[in-house]
Amino acid sequence: MKFSFARISGTLAVLFTFALLSSKVQMQAQFAGASVPNGSTLTIPVAQIIQPEALLHLLQGTGAEKPLMLQVGSHMMYAEGHIPGSEYVGQGSQPAGLQQLQNRVSSLPRKRAIILYCGCCPWNRCPNLGPAFAKLHDMGFTNVKVLYLADNFGTNWANKGYPVEQGR
């Protein structure tokens, strides 16, 4: 029996593709039945997530109105360092913080560009972003993005040399 290199390569490519698709289906099945806590960052639609690099370009751009930047983590973290021009509105995981958020945005047009960020801890464990995003969504805001900080504000923003302001 004689095998050609092309035939073996083709067979391996098919097997590799099948293995990748199979693992993707297994992962989807694994997470499809998993319950995602209400208010988790995992409930935020991917289309509403903005990467740090994209936000930096948006903030450095000229012309268009800048988004309202709201930090929904701890006040101590905000005082230590925050994105210039952003405002602290309280912790999104606390009723008082959600009330402050609501008070801050209640008079704004529902199409106003708003970007939420926290950076207290790794994205998938942040207790503040999910509830804050849900609050704005429930209030009818349609142009809300959430800054994706995979690890934390220091690692994914400040340590990259992106602008940081202290105080307040």
Summarised one tens digit per residue, pLDDT across range 3-22 is: 454 454 444 344 444 334 43
Summarised one tens digit per residue, pLDDT across range 18-39 is: 334 433 333 333 334 444 455 6
Shared domain check, 132 and 95:
yes
Largest CA distance in the chain: 78
Shared domain check, 140 and 84:
yes
Domains contained in the chain, number: 2
Shared domain check, 122 and 106:
yes
Could you tell me the CATH number of the domain that includes residue 75?
3.40.250.10
- Confidence (pTM): 0.76
Shared domain check, 11 and 83:
no
* Residue 68, strand partner residues: 114
Shared domain check, 10 and 64:
no
Domain that residue 111 falls in:
41-160
Phi-psi sector, 24: left (phi>0), alpha (psi -120 to 50), beta = alpha
Q: Please provide residue 68's backbone torsions phi and psi, each rounded to the nearest 5 degrees.
A: -80, 120
Shared domain check, 64 and 45:
yes
User: What residues have CB less than 8 Å from 115, skipping those under 6 apart?
Assistant: 50, 55, 67, 68, 69, 70, 144, 145, 146, 147
SS3 label, residue 83: coil
